[in-house]
């Protein structure tokens, strides 16, 4: 059995929308969760049936090494609803006994009893959206939780046997000082999560933050301060025993998120649910965004005959050319600050030399100090980590 695939489930429900968030998620729609769970089960079945049609009935079932429930707020689903989803997954896929099974959770939505049930169902990793330890910052972000909720969530998770936790943080907030950010990171490190993600805020149009910024009501985040916060974070977390393995992600040794590594290594994953994206069988595809349309399509047999990995929920798909795959591998693989792009791995995967395809781009980025060779691995320099988008854009053209 191979464990080559990852499964991502998008759960687009939140108790309320945070002021900076532009994810595909909806507040006040919890009444549709039962129907949504049924639709997800239909989509799993559709993927499983299309897969066996494409491979033949005697082919071994597809192995799954990681499962990730993201959102939105997946912790709004009840344990029974997860049980039903797992039952469908196991009916069509071979889930590895060592699979990493992650849940994204909002610290204000979990309890000891809930976590105990999740652990019994097989979840073994939780990623909490902590964001900040500062009450004023959490209020400005319009989060529903406070820092004590984060402390409780971590404590309850430990008590119920979770030994693999991530805490998400945001820096570069309007009016956030370097000291307030350092205070947040130090408090979070004090909780000793196995994994920490730190993302710079981007003010997106269409969010309350975007509207306030357009009216001049929100002070603009200072990009120089955000860079200083990021550089300090790299040094501090390294000194605390965390290994930076991706531009925005740090882990205790061996605790990298296997699910996200699958994305960054540009390997196959199925995306299920409203607004989910997937990359499998040579297709890059995305599902319909709106919950109502997702539910309607789930029951509509006119959409049932698309080839694997597409489903009745798929609205956009593109069959990747080898060139697309090579470009995407550069863009995602260079995010891996430690691993980078292996020249030998590239040659084995694509049957062509890395420098033959991207020699010009690599030389240019080396010359300006954003990329460097270490042995046969091509990696971002420290400056390249700060200017990642500039690096990735070089590989998009042509
Ligand atoms: S909880 Fe997360 S997904 Fe939901 S609105 Fe807030 S930031 Fe967005």
For ligand 1, atom 8: residue with the closest CA = 21
Distance separating alpha carbons of residues 348 and 331, to the nearest angstrom? 18
Q: How much is the pLDDT for 398?
A: 56
For ligand 1, atom 6: residue with the closest CA = 18
Percent of the chain with pLDDT over 70: 98
The answer to whether residue 122 scores a pLDDT higher than 50 is yes
The answer to whether residue 238 scores a pLDDT higher than 80 is yes
Q: How much is the pLDDT for 221?
A: 85
Residue 276 Cα to ligand 1 midpoint, Å, equals 15
Domain range for 386: 341-394
The DSSP-derived string for 319-372 is: EPPHHHHHHHHHHHHTT-TTT-EEHHHHHHHHSS-HHHHHHHHHHHHHHTTSEE
pLDDT in tens, 15-35: 999 999 999 999 999 999 999
CB distance 18 to ligand 1 below 6 Å: yes
Residue 218 placed within a domain: yes
In this structure, are 347 and 237 located in the same domain? no
Q: How many domains does the chain have?
A: 2
The answer to whether residue 310 scores a pLDDT higher than 70 is yes
Distance separating alpha carbons of residues 265 and 253, to the nearest angstrom? 18
For ligand 1, atom 5: residue with the closest CA = 17
> Model confidence at 1, in pLDDT bands (50, 70, 90)?
very low
CB distance 71 to ligand 1 below 6 Å: yes
Percent of the chain with pLDDT over 90: 89
In this structure, are 111 and 256 located in the same domain? yes
In this structure, are 259 and 360 located in the same domain? no
pLDDT in tens, 155-165: 999 999 999 99
In this structure, are 103 and 239 located in the same domain? yes
Residue 295 placed within a domain: no
pLDDT in tens, 43-74: 999 888 888 888 776 777 889 999 999 999 99
Residue 291 placed within a domain: no
Section 100-112 average pLDDT: 96
> Model confidence at 396, in pLDDT bands (50, 70, 90)?
confident
Residue 277 placed within a domain: no
CB distance 73 to ligand 1 below 6 Å: yes
In this structure, are 137 and 224 located in the same domain? yes
Q: List the structure tokens of 94.
A: 């071979």
Section 190-209 average pLDDT: 96
The answer to whether residue 363 scores a pLDDT higher than 60 is yes
| Atom of ligand 1 minimally distant from the CA of 27 | 5
Residue 70 Cα to ligand 1 midpoint, Å, equals 10
Section 72-98 average pLDDT: 96
| 312 vs 7, higher pLDDT | 7
Q: How much is the pLDDT for 308?
A: 87
Section 273-280 average pLDDT: 97
Closest-CA residue to 93 (of 149, 123, 52, 140): 52
Residue 105 Cα to ligand 1 midpoint, Å, equals 10
Q: What is the CATH number of the domain that holds 34?
A: 3.20.20.70
Residue 359 placed within a domain: yes
Last residue of a domain, one of 217, 245, 263: 263
Q: What is the dihedral of CA 147, 161, 271, 243, to 10 degrees?
A: 70
pLDDT in tens, 255-275: 999 999 999 999 999 999 999
């Amino acid at each position: 059995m191979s464990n080559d695939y990852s499964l991502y489930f998008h759960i687009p429900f939140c108790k309320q929308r945070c002021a900076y968030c532009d994810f595909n998620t909806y507040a006040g729609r919890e009444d549709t969760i039962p129907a949504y769970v049924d639709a997800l089960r239909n989509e799993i079945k559709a993927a499983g049936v299309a897969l066996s049609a494409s491979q033949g009935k005697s082919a071994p079932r597809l192995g799954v090494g990681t499962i990730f429930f993201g959102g939105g707020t997946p912790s709004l689903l009840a344990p029974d609803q997860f049980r039903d989803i797992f039952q469908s997954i196991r009916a069509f896929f071979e889930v590895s006994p060592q699979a990493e099974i992650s849940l994204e959770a909002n610290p204000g939505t979990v309890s000891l009893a809930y976590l105990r049930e999740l652990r019994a169902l097989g979840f073994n990793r939780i990623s909490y959206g902590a964001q900040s330890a500062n009450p004023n910052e959490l209020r400005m972000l319009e989060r529903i939780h406070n820092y004590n909720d984060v402390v409780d969530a971590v404590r309850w998770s430990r008590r119920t046997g979770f030994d693999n936790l991530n805490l998400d943080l945001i820096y570069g907030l309007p009016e956030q000082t370097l000291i307030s950010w350092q205070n947040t990171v130090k408090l979070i490190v004090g909780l000793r999560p196995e994994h920490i993600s730190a993302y710079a805020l981007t003010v997106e149009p269409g969010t309350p933050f975007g509207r306030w910024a357009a009216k001049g009501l929100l002070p603009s985040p200072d990009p120089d301060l955000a860079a200083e916060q990021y550089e300090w974070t790299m040094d501090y977390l390294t000194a605390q025993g965390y290994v930076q393995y991706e531009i925005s992600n740090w882990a205790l040794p061996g605790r990298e998120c296997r699910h996200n590594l699958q994305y960054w290594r540009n390997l196959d994953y199925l995306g299920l649910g409203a607004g989910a994206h997937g990359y499998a069988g040579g297709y890059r595809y995305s599902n319909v965004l709106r919950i109502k349309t997702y539910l309607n399509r789930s029951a509509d047999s006119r959409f049932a005959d698309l080839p694997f990995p597409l489903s009745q929920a798929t609205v956009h798909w593109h069959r990747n050319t080898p060139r697309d795959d090579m470009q995407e591998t550069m863009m995602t693989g260079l995010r891996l600050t430690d691993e980078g792009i292996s020249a030998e791995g590239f040659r084995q995967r694509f049957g062509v030399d890395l420098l033959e395809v991207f020699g010009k781009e690599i030389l240019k980025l080396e010359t300006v100090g954003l990329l460097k060779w270490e042995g046969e691995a091509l990696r971002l320099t420290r400056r390249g980590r700060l200017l990642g988008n500039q690096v990735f854009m070089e590989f998009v053209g042509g």
